[in-house]
Structure 1
Amino acid sequence: MKVASSLRKAAPRKAHRERSQPAARAQLGLLEKKKDYLVRSKDYKEKRARLKKMKEKAAFRNRDEFYFAMINQKTNNGVHIKEQRAERFSVDEQALLKTQDIAYINYQRSVNLKKMERLQTIRHVHPIAAEISELKEFGLLDKEYESLDSDNEDNSNDVGKPETSIAIKKSTGKPTHVIFVDDESQVKEFNPIKHFETSANLLNQRHNRLRIVSNASNSESKKESSIFQGPTLENSADPSVHLDKKTQKQKLRLQNELAAREERELKLRRVHAEMQVQKNLMGKGAKMKIGVDSLGLPVYKWNPERKR
């Protein structure tokens, strides 16, 4: 009876395992397979053929052979020693190379600084400060609220004042949060912290704003509050604990990248200063070392020359 090929392929087959090195030869390493032997054999045959060719060339060498280049050459126990002539650059050529290196360092610094500026303006690093800086840049922030980002912590107790919220002018690009009330008295008595059920330092955060939940009488009310009211600040002194883990991880990654960029900028600045000093030392004039700068590099002073 013939079995279908698909059924035959689906049937379990024996697992073929390679034999390992015997315990008595474990000190020799892994057991050599055929593919390992082929690589080793090919390398051995190539070396053997090269040695054979060199021996034949030495056997048929003419001992009376002479070239005029042999006059300035040396041998050591019959072995020819070829002198390595290092390329020597003039002072002007070396100065030109230093200039090219400094230009490359400046290019790398400019690229690094642009990336640092981009990281510093990303909202995930400092969301509230970034939003306020963008509002200032586009002229959407009123003058009486321009210092809100710096005085945010100091105004945490003034919960009844209108300064706890940002007043934004009309704009098509920036969204606004408008709350409608019945009369003017409610405007004066409006408490944004109580209305949004959050803390004062999180009022300016538009996304994923945490809420404060009062102590419930039983576990069911706590469960319902956690379901319908979203993230809370209950039983936690640090609001960042309840933030989304992915957001926290991304924020940490950006902060680490920014720290690495700042360290790279310091190293590039040190290399640039050192190369500039080396280039200046290649110039003319008497100089004298007078000390060390903040980067640990030597500082030189050149004697003044009278110009015509």
Structure 2
Amino acid sequence: MVGLSGCGDDPASPDAEAAATRAQMAWDSAQQQYKEVEEIERRLVRRCLAEQGFQIFPEDAPPGDEPTERQRPVSPDLTDAARVGYGLDPRRLPKVEGAADNSAYAKTPDSYKSKLTTAKYGPESEKVSFNAPDGAKVAIPRAGCLGEVRSGLFGDLNEYIRLSFTASNLVRQGTSREIEGDAQVQAALDRWRTCVQEAGYPDIKGFADMKEKARQLYKNIDPSNGKALDAALATEIKIATAEATCTKSAGLDQAVAKAQAEGFVESLAKYEADMVAWNAMVREALKKGQEMLKA
């Protein structure tokens, strides 16, 4: 737990608690969308490299585990739900040229590997750096395919590295907290279940059931069957919108954020403005990335 500097064991003020809850909600929203932004970034970088003639790539690192229902039951944003549902439509992230193959990549000459690295990351002299409060220096590429793609997605790379570092390292959130044991979260979950059942989904028992119900819509659909995919997407949007509407009316996001923020009030409140800015940056990057994939 984060200690409250200069406050001893005194409880945090209501204003600080409210700021911490807002910061936690912004952090939750950004993290949920950032996973999709990272996948878009990967695909755009791969496309950039393929356009330069590179066809053999090492496998990308596997993504981190998805948050479990117990860790963070947060619904999609209502606007996004009405537009793309949960984002499960396989047409949203089209395949790009170039396949990852570690065995083939391992057989390429060192000169190929060196050229690929330079094309992806740019020269060592072209970096954007950030000096962390603890004295550590963090640097990311300004040039190369990665630098170019990130500039297109996030704009100001100096602000991007500052906000992303803050979100990843300076703000401590209680992900290990058993939030579903919190009385307010449990009450909100009960209201949420009642709401989704009244919305026409009586078989829903747990929070993850709605997204899984939408995921099953695409099972066994031929990728070339546009009509079937359109029908699945329309139903997915209906499901996601119902979930997001119920989450909002039940106050579930707020209850979860408040439970997670307990014990980290001072740290979260301190970085509230940065977390709100980070959430806005990620949301805009997601929109830009989806357009860049279509180009």
Q: Which has the higher contact order (CA 8 A, sep 6+)?
A: 2
TM-score, scaled to structure 1: 0.20
TM-score, scaled to structure 2: 0.21
User: Whose helix proportion is higher, 1 or 2?
Assistant: 2
Larger Rg: 1
